[in-house]
Structure 1
Amino acid sequence: MRKPASKLKGTVGGLYRTEGKGFVTTSVETLELGFEGIAGDEHGGPTRRTGGREPWYPRGTEIRNERQLSILSAAELGEVARDLDIPELLPEWIGANLVLDGIPRLSHLPPRTLLFFESGVTLKVDGDNGPCRLSGRSIAAHHPGREDIEFSFVRAAKHKRGLVAWVEKPGRLSQGEAFEARLPEQWIYDPA
C-alpha cells in the first residue's frame, strides 16, 4: 500500500569527520558541507571509486558519489550493541558523519527522502548503508578478545546501520540543530 508524502522532525545529536586517512571519525561541533560533501573527508568528493558494493562495475570504476555522508541513529546503535553483547558502539568507530535523534527506525527511511536542516543545508538520502566487515573489524578493535564481532556485526546491523546521503544544498551544520525529514510518497518506510 502506498503511503502519502510525510514529514518527521528531529535534531542533530552528533557531528563527525575523518582526520587523515581511514574511515574512523572524530566528533566536531560543526560541519562545513559543500557539493563534494565534507572537504578533505575520507568519503568526500563529487565522485568515488567502486568497490564490493557495486559488483556490476570493475573495482575502481569512477562513479557519482552518493555516499558522501554516513548518517546513524543513537537508538539503532544501542540495539546493535545489545545484539553484539557489548556495552556501547560509538558512531566514530564505524565512520559516522551525523547522528540524528528523533526519527524512529532511521535506517528504514526510503531513498529520495530529503533532510532539511534549520541552517539551510539539505541532504538527499540515497538509501540504507549495508553493514560491512571493515566496520565490524573497527568495533572488534575496541573489544579485545571479541574478534567474532568482525563477522557478527554484519548480521546484527542489517537494516540498523543508518543511511548514506549526498549534499543537495551546502552550508554549515551545528550540533543540536533541528531538521525536518520529508519522505516522498512511498511504500517502504513505516515508523511503527
Structure 2
Amino acid sequence: MSLADAPIASPETALEALTLVPARRLSARVSLLLKTATRGDFNTFACDSLELTMEGIAGDRHGGFTRRSGGREPYYPRSTEMCNERQLSILASDELALVARRMELDRIEPGWIGGNIVLDGIANLSLLPPRTRLVFEGGAVVRIDGDNAPCRAAGKSIAGHFPEREGLDLAFPKQAVHLRGLVGYVEKAGVIASGEGVIAHLPPQWIYGAAS
C-alpha cells in the first residue's frame, strides 16, 4: 500500500504521536552588510548599514512587494507575479568557507553570490527553519522563508573570479546544497548596522505525518 492509500490518522492519534521541538532563541552578530550598486547588479558590495523597508532594500535587485516567478517555481508559468519572499539573502561565513573548500577554492566572497547580511554565531545557519524571526538590535525584523537553493547563476559569478578553473558554474549548485544561506523578507522595517547583535527566534518544530 502506498503512502497515499494509507489510512489518515485522527487528530487525537496524531497529537499523541507528535514529537515537538520547542521554540528557542539563538544569538548571532552581523559581520558584514552588502547591497547592490545598481538595481541590475547581481553582485553586492559592502556597506556600513542597510535601511530595510517593507519592500526590502531600496534599489536592490531583489526589492519589492512582489516578484516574477522563475525556475524555482515550476508550479507557476514563468514570470507570474507573486509575493516576494526573497527580498534578502542571509549568509554565514563558515558555510561559505566550507563550500569553497569543497570546490577547492581559497575563498568565496558573499558579494559574489548576492549576499546582503552575513551572520556569525549560529551553527548550520542554512538549516534554520521557515518562520524563524531574526530580531536585530536596532529594531528591524526579518522573517525567514527558507534555505536558498544554490543556482548556476551564482556559480557563474564565482567562476568569473577564477577564469583558470573550468566547471565552477556547475560545481557550486552541487557543493552548496543546504550551505548557501537563507532567503527572507522584512517583517518590521528599520536600519541594520554592521556589528549589530541579532536574536534568532526559532518556532516550535515537528514533522507532519498525515498517514498512520
TM-score using structure 2 length = 0.87
Say whether the 8 Å CA contact 1:137–1:147 is kept in structure 2.
no
The runs of 4+ residues in structure 1 deviating greater than 4 Å are none
Partner-residue secondary structure (3-state), 2:198? strand
Q: CA deviation at 1:7?
A: 0.3
Q: Pick from 162, 170, 174: which aligns with 1:143?
A: 162
In structure 2, the residue matched to 1:158 is 177
Q: CA deviation at 1:2?
A: 2.2
Q: Does 1:173 align with 2:200?
A: no
**Structure 1 stretches lacking a partner, 5+ long:** none
Give the Cα separation in 2 of the matches to 1:114 and 1:6. 11
Give the Cα separation in 2 of the matches to 1:116 and 1:156. 30
Q: How many pairs are equivalent?
A: 188
In structure 1, the residue matched to 2:205 is 186
Q: Give 1:38-187 correspondences, 5 Å limit.
A: 38-187=57-206
Q: CA deviation at 1:19?
A: 1.0
**For residues 123-165 of structure 1, what are the alpha-carbon distances to aligned partners after superposition, in whole Å with 9 as ceiling and x for unaligned?**
0000000000000000000001223110010011000000000
**Structure 2 stretches lacking a partner, 5+ long:** 1-18, 208-212
In structure 1, the residue matched to 2:31 is 13
In structure 1, the residue matched to 2:20 is 2
Give the Cα separation in 1 of the matches to 2:128 and 2:166. 31
TM-score using structure 1 length = 0.96
**For structure 1, which segment, 179-188 or 151-160, has the greater mean C-alpha deviation from structure 2 after superposition?**
179-188
Percent of aligned positions that are identical: 54
Larger of the two Rg values belongs to structure: 2
Structure 1 counterpart of 2:125, one-letter code: L
